[in-house]
Amino acid sequence: MSNYGISRKKAKEYITEYLEQYSGIKAFMENITQYATEKGYVETLFARRRYIPELKSNNYMVRQFGSRAAMNTPIQGTAADIMKIAMIRVYKEIKERGLQSKIVLQVHDEMMIEAPIEEKEEIKNIMKECMETAINMQVPLIVDISEANNWYDCK
């Protein structure tokens, strides 16, 4: 049993059915791995490269890691690039407006800002605008903002 309460066999069935239903995803995964094997790297939407020498390894487990890295990097790496763009835009906006707010933490797709209470609404608007418009995509980027009086309570 896995942590999710299903057997490995059942999990494999779910994955197989999913990839049959969404054949474009399976093709993407196969194509990106083949591309990475041939070129030695994959790229994010912004052409940032991640080299994946593991795909040439004689060790099966190392090659499998390389394959997962090849599939994940274009999507996760692009998300990281978008986040960096958004953070730069938020930072510049804070500076241009002469605010006291500060970016204190970023984890994956979340940004934490410490702000004086009187800047709260302005900083929330800045974050939403800068993050949702970091890049122009066909699928909109939607941002949820939460607030708390301390880091522990912030969700």
Domain segments of the chain: what residues? 8-80
Residue 106 contacts residue 80 (beta carbons within 8 Å): no
What pLDDT score was predicted for residue 95? 98
| pLDDT < 70 stretches in the chain | 1-2
Q: What does pTM read for this prediction?
A: 0.83
Integer Cα distance of 112 and 103 in angstroms: 6
Integer Cα distance of 124 and 50 in angstroms: 33
Homologous superfamily (CATH) for 8-80: 5' to 3' exonuclease, C-terminal subdomain (1.10.150.20)
What count of other Cβ atoms lies within 10 Å of the Cβ of residue 144? 7
What pLDDT score was predicted for residue 78? 95
Quick: pLDDT tens for 42-76. 999 999 999 999 999 999 999 999 999 999 999 99
Contacts of 140 (CB under 8 A, 6+ apart): 132
